[in-house]
Amino acid sequence: MKIGVFDGQGGGIGSAIIKRLREEFAEKVEVIALGTNSIATAQMLKARANKGATGENAIIQTAPKMDILIGPIGIVLAQSMMGEVTPAIAQAVASSPGLKFLIPLSQERVEVVGLNPEPLPHLVEKLINRLKECLNHV
């Protein structure tokens, strides 16, 4: 099972997700850090991702090969994350055949109606629980 964890800017969201993936699944899953920049990728690698891919072309080539993609909702919004998510990245992620788990955190002027805002640690726990449910059905 290949899980791509996407982040940009400082890599804090991706790092938090990868740490919990490692705590929960250890080495049973392969975690690929997909960073829009080298700082984000480096931080996710420190959190124990197996490999890292940085930048537009690397993400475009890697995203379709993932069984699961995880990241903030901005990964499917062109020009999000202060412009780090290019239209090509957003398209590659959105059109990837992998299952997508999107964390409803956004610095963009986008609001998902019907969701209550929650802190990142709560959202990561919900993500892990949902991922466990999905993996139990595979």
What is the 8-class DSSP label of residue 107? Answer: S
Segments forming the whole domain that contains residue 64: 2-136
Return the pLDDT at 138.
65
Q: Alpha carbon of 124 to those of 37, 55, 127: distances in Å?
A: 22, 24, 5
Kindly report, residue by residue over 84-136, the tens digit of the pLDDT: 999 999 999 999 999 999 998 877 788 888 888 889 999 999 999 999 998 88
CATH number at residue 121: 3.40.50
The count of structural domains within the chain is 1
Question: Is the entire prediction scored with pTM above 0.85?
Answer: yes
